A = this chain, B = another copy of it.
Amino acid sequence: MFTTAHKPPYTAVIFTSVRPVGETAQVDGYSEAAQRMDELAREQPGFLGNDSVRDENGYGITVSYWKDEHSARAWKQVQEHLHAQSTGRKKWYKNYSVHVATVNRAYSG
């Protein structure tokens, strides 16, 4: 289930990425690392939620929510996460983008 609205302001990190599809993508260690990063993120101070969707063409959007900019930046610097980011750039992603944003309004229905 997706993260519900919290009381603004807080921080959203929008990560889009394109993965290869096919057999190679099944065995490059990405799935295991993605699951581990999700678990590790949830243990970090200021973590509010992590929503992730990837379609059959390899297009993915992940949005993680944090109490503030400080906690989002701290997560980026966690050693195991730094290693995953590096592997992502070299091996897992054809391309990616990151948007760090301050949530001003949020609602669920």
Which residues of A come within 8 Å of B, CB atoms? 1-5, 12, 14, 16, 18, 51, 53-56, 59-61, 63, 65, 69, 89, 93, 95-109
Cα distance A5–B63 when bound, in Å?
Answer: 16
Q: How many copies does the complex hold?
A: 2
Bound together, the chains give a CA A71 to CA B60 distance in angstroms of: 26
**Chain B residues, CB < 8 A from A100:** 103-106
Contacts of A97 in B (CB 8 A): 2-5, 106-109
Instruction: Select from chain B the residue with minimum beta-carbon distance to A98.
Output: B107
A51 touches B16 (CB 8 A): yes
Contact A63 B14, beta carbon cutoff 8 Å? yes
Nearest 4 Cβ contacts at the A-B interface: A101-B101, A97-B108, A2-B16, A61-B61
